[in-house]
Structure 1
Amino acid sequence: MKRWIYALPVLALVIVAGFGGWQMMRPSKGEFERLSRAAPEHVFPLMDGSGEISFAPPPGGQTVAVNLFASWCAPCEAEHKYLVALGEKHPGQVYGILYKDKVEDGAGFLERLGNPYTQVALDPEGRGGLDFGLTGVPETFVISGDGEIILHIGGPLDDALAQKVSGALEAPRS
């Protein structure tokens, strides 16, 4: 009898398990939402040395976008033009967190590309980013006036994602 026929189910299982493992090792980056997750209560020092900031709740009690970036991050540079446009369209609502970077390098980055942020916080050790649930820079979080994360964009902004952030900044919250 043909014994190789008994190996077919095992081979099918190996193929399915291999595909599943491959998918788990390569999670898709992009946008994903986490509705009604509280913003972390982490307190960040400000880059200009003028004090501290927290986003739970955000400054002024209004909806804000918080972008985690670094001067050493190429995708951060690629998305920067979208942040500049968001900062112009929504003055006072776009904040930055300089993630695991030197103040002088971050300042040079913003001087070269423009500073779209109302204020820039520092996260030199990455603890605040971990509290946000950061998987890697750049990432953008939209936080409602009551301190809830209403939108999370994992990865660099493009035109469509920037429009989504803009819409979330404009949407009234109940």
Structure 2
Amino acid sequence: MKRWLAAIPVALLVLFAGLALSQLLSPKKGEFERLSRAAPDRPFNTLDGGEIAFAPPPGNETIIVNLFASWCAPCEAEHPQLMALSERFPGRVYGVLYKDTAENGAEFLQRMGNPFARVAEDPDGQGGLDFGLTGVPETFVISSEGEILLHVAGPLGPDDVKEVSGALDTPRN
């Protein structure tokens, strides 16, 4: 009988460790990460042959930067949300074509519609690493001072659009 009593704490410890491990290995996608760190200050080449940097962002206003790829199925799924954000905030939604070719990215945007004011190229993925990308698609809200205010991992959904819109509507000093 005493042997069973000694096994109870061990069983509880194993159960707790299993629950903790399951939470670490399967974080909930779509949860917002509120940040306050600088956006990458590197210049990116753009699909239109120019250059763009996001710290500070173009127009010195709070913007959205979405990292996407033509080969990414979740990027297609979130595209209507980006189109809606682009309609609500014209000229403030930017794209970064991650580990893809300019030709494939242009075809993707031709087929799906182009919500982006400009599209930066990141063929080797280094720009995504500079952002802190964990996998496409991911969306960042960048303040007029070049600080990342919000990071949404995974495809945008309707609730995400509300959160991102709120971050763009909030005046920053």
Q: Report SS of the residue matched to 1:14.
A: helix
1:96-107 matched pairs, under 5 angstroms: 96-107=95-106
Structure-1 residue corresponding to 2:121: 122
Structure-1 residue corresponding to 2:32: 32
Give the alignment's Cα RMSD to 1 decimal: 1.3
Q: Residue type matched to 1:14 in 2?
A: V
What count of residue pairs does the alignment treat as equivalent?
173
Structure-2 residue corresponding to 1:41: 41
Shift of 1:154: 1.2
Shift of 1:35: 3.4
Shift of 1:170: 2.3
1:164 aligns with 2:163: yes
Shift of 1:2: 4.0
Question: What CA deviation, in whole Å up to 9, does each residue of 1:151-172 have, x standing for no partner?
Answer: 1111111112112212222221
Q: Report SS of the residue matched to 1:66.
A: strand
Unaligned stretches of 5+ residues in structure 1: none
Q: Residue type matched to 1:17 in 2?
A: A
Q: Distance in 1 between matches of 2:120 and 2:96?
A: 5
TM-score normalised by L of structure 2: 0.94
Question: What CA deviation, in whole Å up to 9, does each residue of 1:113-136 have, x standing for no partner?
Answer: 100100000111111111111111
Structure-1 residue corresponding to 2:73: 74
1:17 aligns with 2:22: no
Runs of 4+ aligned residues of structure 1 deviating over 3 Å after TM superposition are none
Question: What CA deviation, in whole Å up to 9, does each residue of 1:5-29 have, x standing for no partner?
Answer: 2222112111111111111111122
TM-score normalised by L of structure 1: 0.93
Unaligned stretches of 5+ residues in structure 2: none
Q: Distance in 1 between matches of 2:33 and 2:21?
A: 24
Q: Distance in 1 between matches of 2:35 and 2:2?
A: 56
Shift of 1:36: 2.2
Q: Report SS of the residue matched to 2:24.
A: helix
Shift of 1:148: 0.9
1:6 aligns with 2:12: no
Q: Report SS of the residue matched to 1:27.
A: coil
**2:35–2:151 CA contact under 8 A, matched in 1:** no
Q: Distance in 2 between matches of 1:71 and 1:90?
A: 23
1:135 aligns with 2:134: yes
